[in-house]
Amino acid sequence: MSDPAAFESRLEKRSEFRKQPVGHSRQGDFIKCVEQKTDALGKQSVNRGFTKDKTLSSIFNIEMVKEKTAEEIKQIWQQYFAAKDTVYTVIPAEKFDLIWNRAQSCPTFLCALPRREGYEFFVGQWTGTELHFTALINIQTRGEAAASQLILYHYPELKEEKGIVLMTAEMDSTFLNVAEAQCIANQVQLFYATDRKETYGLVETFNLRPNEFKYMSVIAELEQSGLGAELKCAQNQNKT
């Protein structure tokens, strides 16, 4: 099992990640290139395994649940998805508003997914209320043809009346399992809904000052939060 330092040394061997002085334009250009290519996520034809125009009304009767309380709707949502292999949650309106407002100025970010050997980076791109993720290596090798591997669907239809936003997801199971998708989804709240200026500062730096962005800061923040520890433990137990 490798540690983050070993992972960083592997990254440095790739031309895109060779050590540059802070502020060197090459990393900034690379991130801008990634962001431009990531813009295509969500704008291309839907891949096998993903639902085109996945609306809230396609999941349940909105008019029927409007008579329910927020807590009752939360229970219905959780019961509906409990037996399905997917990610889902109910987000309080205030937290979603914070995430949404920040996403308008910083629509792209990087998440680190623990793997058996180090970490793998995934790039997230907001497209309306959908948040599309694909592996960084996928963008590097396929460019604008890189397909979404995970989509988080946010439904704010009940936000004003009930004070909640419903979320569920679809993933390409050839690349991600539910636990891995959940780890990525948790990082959306970790980085976009945080009260810590330093944590959200990473998102701002990635979007606004890419020359100053340090990839290892994402891993450090993830490890400090403990979000990846459970997944890492499960992966180690599954080693044969």
Give 3-state DSSP helix, strand, coil % of the chain, rounded to 5.
Answer: 50, 15, 30
Distances (CA, A) of 123 to 36, 43, 164, 185, 210: 12, 15, 26, 12, 14
Inter-residue contact 204 to 212 (CB < 8 Å): no
Question: Would you state the pLDDT for residue 16?
Answer: 41
Angle made by CA atoms 5, 37, 3, in degrees to the nearest 5: 10
Per-residue pLDDT for 8 more than 60? no
Give the tens place of pLDDT for each residue, 74-85.
999 999 999 899
* Three-state DSSP state, 112: strand
Quote the mean pLDDT of the chain. 83
49 — pLDDT class (breaks 50, 70, 90): low
Matching residue, tokens 């399905």: 84
What is the distance between the alpha carbons of residues 83 and 153, in angstroms, rounded to a whole number? Answer: 18
- DSSP code string of 162-175: HSEEEEEEEE-TTT
- Quick one: which of 111, 108, 134, 131 has its CA closest to 121? 111
pLDDT band at 3 (very low <50, low <70, confident <90, very high): low
Could you tell me the two tokens for 105?
A: 């100025």
Separation CA 102–CA 195 (nearest Å): 12
Name residue 157's amino acid. Answer: E
Question: Rounded to two decimals, what is the model's pTM?
Answer: 0.80
Break the chain into its structural domains and give their ranges.
53-238
